[in-house]
């Protein structure tokens, strides 16, 4: 799965995107955020408040309990405001 990071999520992690090889127990967006948080300090800082992170699965906004089965791309970004 390809992961793409935007705005301050990208800044905290230190990369714009990466390929992920997920373990079998990572089934949902929330599971993935928890798993990434355990990788290192940058990920832990980026995902320290999961309720503030938004995700899109294959370009469609998704809730934390959304399943990852069959997903090719996930994007993580902070809440957006309009203007």
d(CA 35, CA 22): 9
Residue 74 near residue 54 (C-beta atoms within 8 A)? no
Whether 82 is in a domain gets the answer no
Residue 30 included in any domain: yes
pLDDT of residue 16: 98
List beta partners, residue 55: 62, 76
Q: Is 80's pLDDT higher than 80?
A: no
- Rounded to whole angstroms, what are the CA distances from 16 to 30, 70, 82? 20, 22, 23
At 14, list the tokens: 């230190």
Domain that holds residue 33: 2-77
Q: What pTM was computed for the model?
A: 0.93
pLDDT in tens, 28-70: 999 999 999 999 999 999 999 999 999 999 999 999 999 999 9
Domain presence at residue 31: yes
How many folded domains does the chain comprise?
1
User: Which CATH number is 33's domain given?
Assistant: 3.10.20.30
Cross-strand bridge partners of residue 3:
18, 74
63 token code pair: 């809730």
Instruction: Give domain status of residue 60, yes or no.
Output: yes
Q: How confident is the model at residue 81 (pLDDT cuts 50, 70, 90)?
A: low
């Amino acid at each position: 799965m390809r992961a793409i990071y935007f705005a301050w999520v990208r800044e905290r992690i230190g990369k714009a995107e990466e390929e992920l090889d997920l373990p079998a127990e990572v089934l949902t967006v929330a599971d993935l955020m928890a798993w990434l948080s355990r990788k290192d300090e940058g990920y832990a800082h980026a995902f320290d408040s999961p309720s503030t992170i938004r995700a899109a699965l294959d370009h469609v906004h998704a809730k934390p309990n959304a399943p990852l089965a069959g997903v090719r791309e996930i994007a993580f970004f902070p809440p957006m405001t309009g203007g």
